């Protein structure tokens, strides 16, 4: 039996009364009210500072809106490739054999032969590193609603590093035969159209076909474009490694690349009259990442196509230098300062009681100490959630419109994701404040808690974002530390078929949104359990 | 003055907090440096690696503990009411602040020197062990060359200036939690901004005025033209922050009740 613990039998106190008592304490201290306002104001102010400095779209003060096509679902897409095509009305099957996919080396020329005209350009003009073949260069067959950018398509293709793939409508990607293509090991590809259903096949010898996938392209017109395509995405590379402090984050840049493929045994099997093939450059206008003249083709008398292209047929909502727009979650970066202030509030909410001796009164009034801690957690958590969610709403709305007004393309996210991000900021701030409360109860002195929590929340971000650690080690830090919780703020989706740096500073976290948040919650629960145990066991 | 100094020193050495915090600052600095340099390997790092700067990475966290030490030198007295006794005993208040600043500076210089030397030794050892040797085109963290010596010595000064800055902020704010919050917020918000502000001019200016981003330029030994601010000028910016905080704190301390 504890000497200082009240010997009066426990009355019928309700948890609601406890919460009310704690709320009264919180709202009646002037400094704490200021802290709540400050958490809101600093979050918004930092967001506006950051957003004002992100004017990707303006060059020398002139707003130049980046040109990004919209896919079938309205999502931003890249649709730039060289297309050797003819119209197809009704059903049909196209087959071809790909015998090579290479990067034209410096000095070689790429020739464009349109009917009656042969045009050659040096591959060097494409700007890519000579002889370097992009891992996701693509060459194969495509069925496309039209040759306007962003229209629906289904394609089957060979790639240098990812085998045969079937892709459709920009975001979908299914693997076929693995392995690269060469003259000794060619690949046969086939696309069959039946209504709005497209089936992709591959084969190594042209006899035994294996189906990759069957997909439906909704609303496909009777006449579509069908043919051969080649494209090669920009290469995103580290130009310079940075360090922490002076130069956070290494400089990463992108350069266009070029690919050239050889295809033969091209056969279009359909009921209509036979037509001639002709080359079309799809997209590539207004996108600085790709040369405006993307490529061309040459048809040998023996019926072998040599096609060169640059660009990509893929989603464009990519963070960092690989993308042309801004993810909306850059507006939420101010949550860092909000978190710092609310961590301070959560800490002093208990340590000031120890410092002033109020804790004796509190525990005498309510001897069930675990419930006192729970009531404090509810109050400080709820207040932090409201402040955080409110601040995040303002940041997303004001920051988003500021970004747009500066000429940035802001990747649209679904309303549900936007709500998740806003709720997520509130939740991270609430859990952070509750963790601070718990650690404040454990240590009973405030200042150390601030340093410790800041180290747990901020250091992992610094080490991985600043590329101080190798990417793998940095990612593990963001999986295992409370900083994992920031994953709930991410708005971008990583696409395996687009190779770029999926790094936290570009809006990608190693854990899924709520998974990361659960890691943070696990820390908070552990801290609360320890605090509750010590509070019950100690004198005061 | 000597009496005030002795009084401050007695207060500090008779409480275990300060000694533990200084020890923690050394351990945290060297520990983080060891963890980061141990995780680096030649396949990840280009030859442009600044081995000295990387070996001093622990300072990024160690400075928070040094800041805590300095904040508690002032806020600890406000927390338990000892400050009333202190100002009653030596009514010339500016002397109290000067004495605290001197002691904070000397102790953080000492702890900083140990932390920096330890970090450089262990960083050099681990990086060499990971194959980042001179033979492969990397620089080692030898103090024989003037640039490395500037980086090492400057980083010790950096930690002392962080202590003085924190002492000044704590004198302004008085209470421990808000004081350390303000210090850490001001230190870490600028590198964060530098990372997320993509406009190069904005980003550069922000890093030039931030106490940490400017001051930490002293750690760099390579690619000096790429720094937002030159090493000594950067340390000067941090010194200006420290001086500003101390002067404002001193004035408030002088004209406030307690």
**Domain boundaries along the sequence of chain A:** 69-315, 326-398+409-537
Q: How many residues does chain B have?
A: 258
Residue of B nearest to A454 (CA): B184
Beta bridge partners of A253: A237
Kindly tell me if the per-residue pLDDT of A58 is higher than 70. Answer: no
CB contact set of A383 (below 8 Å; sequence gap of 6+): A26, A36, A345, A433
Place of tokens 């770029």: A500
pLDDT (average), residues A45-52: 88
CB contact set of B99 (below 8 Å; sequence gap of 6+): B1, B4, B5, B7, B8
List pLDDT tens digits, range A76-98: 888 889 899 999 999 999 999 99
Q: Per the CB < 8 Å rule, is A49 touching B216? A: no
Q: Is A396 on the interface with B (CB under 8 A)?
A: no
Task: Give pLDDT, residue A347.
Answer: 96
Chain A residues inside the 8 Å CB shell of B54: 243, 468
Kindly tell me if the per-residue pLDDT of A243 is higher than 50. Answer: no
CATH architecture of A69-315: Sandwich (2.60)
First to last CA, chain B: 20
pLDDT tens, position by position, for chain B (258 residues)?
888 999 999 999 998 889 999 999 999 999 999 998 888 765 555 556 788 888 999 999 999 999 999 999 999 999 888 999 999 998 899 999 999 999 999 999 999 999 999 999 998 888 888 776 666 656 666 777 888 899 999 999 999 999 999 999 999 999 999 999 999 999 998 888 877 777 778 888 888 999 999 999 999 887 787 788 999 999 999 999 999 999 999 999 999 987
Residue of B nearest to A250 (CA): B195
Q: Per the CB < 8 Å rule, is A446 touching B189? A: no
Q: Is A347 on the interface with B (CB under 8 A)?
A: yes
Q: Please state whether the predicted TM-score (pTM) of the whole model is above 0.90.
A: no
| Short-list A247, A252, A257, A311, CA closest to A285 | A311
Task: Give pLDDT, residue A442.
Answer: 95
Share of chain A above pLDDT 70, in %: 85
Share of chain A above pLDDT 90, in %: 45
Place of tokens 């350390």: B180
Task: Give pLDDT, residue A123.
Answer: 46
Task: Give pLDDT, residue B39.
Answer: 83
Task: Give pLDDT, residue A131.
Answer: 62
Q: Per the CB < 8 Å rule, is A243 touching B228? A: no
Q: Are A497 and A231 in contact (CB under 8 A)?
A: no
CA distance B218 to chain A (A): 9
ipTM, 2 dp: 0.90
Task: Give pLDDT, residue A11.
Answer: 61
Distance (Å, whole) CA B93 – CA A188: 88
């Amino acid at each position: 039996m504890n000497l200082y613990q009240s010997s009066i039998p426990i009355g019928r106190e309700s948890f609601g009364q406890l919460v009310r008592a704690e709320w009264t304490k919180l709202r009646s201290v002037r400094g704490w009210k200021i802290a709540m306002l400050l958490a809101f104001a600093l979050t918004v102010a930092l967001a506006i500072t950051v957003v004002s400095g992100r004017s990707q779209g303006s060059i020398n003060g002139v707003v130049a809106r980046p040109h990004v096509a919209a896919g079938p679902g309205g999502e931003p897409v890249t649709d730039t490739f060289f297309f050797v095509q003819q119209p197809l009305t009704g059903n049909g099957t196209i087959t071809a054999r790909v015998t090579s996919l290479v990067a034209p080396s410096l000095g070689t020329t790429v020739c464009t032969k349109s009917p009656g005209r042969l045009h050659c350009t040096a591959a060097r003009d494409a700007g890519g590193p000579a002889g370097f073949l992009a891992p996701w260069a693509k060459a194969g067959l495509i069925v496309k609603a039209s040759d306007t950018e962003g229209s629906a398509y289904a394609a089957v293709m060979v790639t240098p590093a990812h085998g045969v793939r079937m892709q459709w409508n920009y975001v979908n990607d299914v693997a076929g035969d693995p392995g690269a293509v060469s003259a000794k090991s060619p690949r046969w590809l086939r696309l069959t159209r039946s209504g709005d259903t497209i089936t992709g096949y591959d084969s190594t010898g042209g006899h035994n076909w294996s189906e990759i996938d069957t997909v439906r392209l909704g609303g496909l017109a009777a006449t579509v474009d069908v043919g051969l395509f080649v494209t090669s995405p920009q290469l995103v590379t580290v130009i310079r490694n940075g360090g922490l402090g002076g130069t956070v984050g290494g400089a990463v840049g992108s350069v266009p690349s070029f690919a050239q493929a050889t295809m033969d045994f091209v056969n279009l099997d359909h009921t209509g009259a036979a037509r001639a093939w002709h080359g079309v450059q799809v997209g590539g206008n207004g996108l600085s990442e790709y040369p405006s003249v993307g490529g061309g083709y040459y048809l040998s008398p023996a019926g072998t196509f040599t096609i060169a292209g640059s660009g990509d047929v893929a989603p464009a909502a990519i963070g960092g230098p690989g993308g042309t727009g801004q993810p909306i979650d850059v507006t939420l970066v101010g949550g860092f300062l909000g978190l710092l202030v609310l961590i301070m509030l959560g800490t002093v909410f208990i340590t000031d009681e120890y410092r002033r001796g109020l804790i004796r009164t509190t525990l005498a009034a309510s001897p069930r100490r675990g419930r006192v801690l729970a009531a404090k957690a509810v109050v400080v958590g709820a207040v932090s959630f409201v402040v955080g969610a409110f601040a995040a709403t303002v940041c997303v709305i004001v920051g988003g419109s500021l970004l747009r007004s500066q000429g940035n393309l802001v990747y649209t996210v679904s309303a549900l994701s936007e709500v998740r991000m806003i709720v997520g900021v509130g939740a991270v701030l609430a859990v952070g404040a509750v963790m601070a409360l718990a650690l404040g109860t454990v240590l009973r002195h405030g200042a150390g808690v601030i340093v410790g929590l800041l180290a747990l929340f901020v250091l992992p971000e610094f080490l991985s974002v600043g590329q101080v650690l190798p990417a793998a080690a940095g990612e593990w830090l963001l999986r295992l530390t409370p900083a994992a919780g920031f994953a709930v703020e991410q708005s971008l989706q990583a696409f395996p078929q687009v190779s770029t740096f999926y790094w936290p500073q570009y809006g990608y976290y190693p854990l899924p949104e709520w998974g990361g948040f659960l890691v943070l919650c696990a820390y908070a629960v552990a801290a609360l359990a320890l605090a509750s145990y010590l509070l019950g066991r100690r004198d005061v | 003055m000597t009496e005030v100094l002795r009084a401050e020193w007695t207060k500090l050495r008779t409480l275990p907090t300060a000694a533990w915090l200084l020890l923690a600052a050394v351990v945290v600095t060297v520990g983080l440096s060891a963890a980061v340099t141990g995780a680096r390997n030649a396949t990840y790092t280009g030859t442009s690696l600044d081995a000295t700067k990387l070996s001093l990475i622990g300072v990024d966290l160690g400075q928070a503990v040094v800041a805590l030490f300095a904040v508690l030198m002032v806020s600890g007295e406000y927390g338990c009411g000892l400050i009333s006794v202190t100002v009653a005993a030596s009514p010339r208040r500016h002397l109290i602040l000067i004495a605290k600043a001197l002691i904070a500076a000397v102790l953080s210089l000492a702890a900083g020197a140990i932390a920096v030397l330890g970090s450089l030794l262990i960083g050099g050892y681990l990086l060499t062990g990971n194959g980042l040797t001179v033979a492969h085109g990397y620089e080692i963290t030898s103090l024989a060359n003037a640039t490395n010596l500037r980086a090492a010595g400057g980083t010790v000064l950096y930690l002392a200036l962080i202590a003085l800055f924190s002492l000044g902020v704590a004198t302004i704010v008085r209470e421990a939690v808000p004081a350390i919050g303000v210090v850490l917020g001001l230190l870490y918000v600028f590198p964060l901004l530098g990372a997320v502000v993509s406009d190069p001019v904005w980003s550069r200016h922000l890093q030039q005025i931030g106490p940490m981003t400017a001051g930490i330029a002293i750690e760099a030994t390579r690619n000096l033209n790429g720094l937002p601010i030159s090493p000594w000028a950067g340390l000067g910016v941090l010194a200006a922050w420290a001086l500003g905080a101390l002067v404002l704190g001193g004035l408030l301390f002088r004209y406030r009740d307690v």
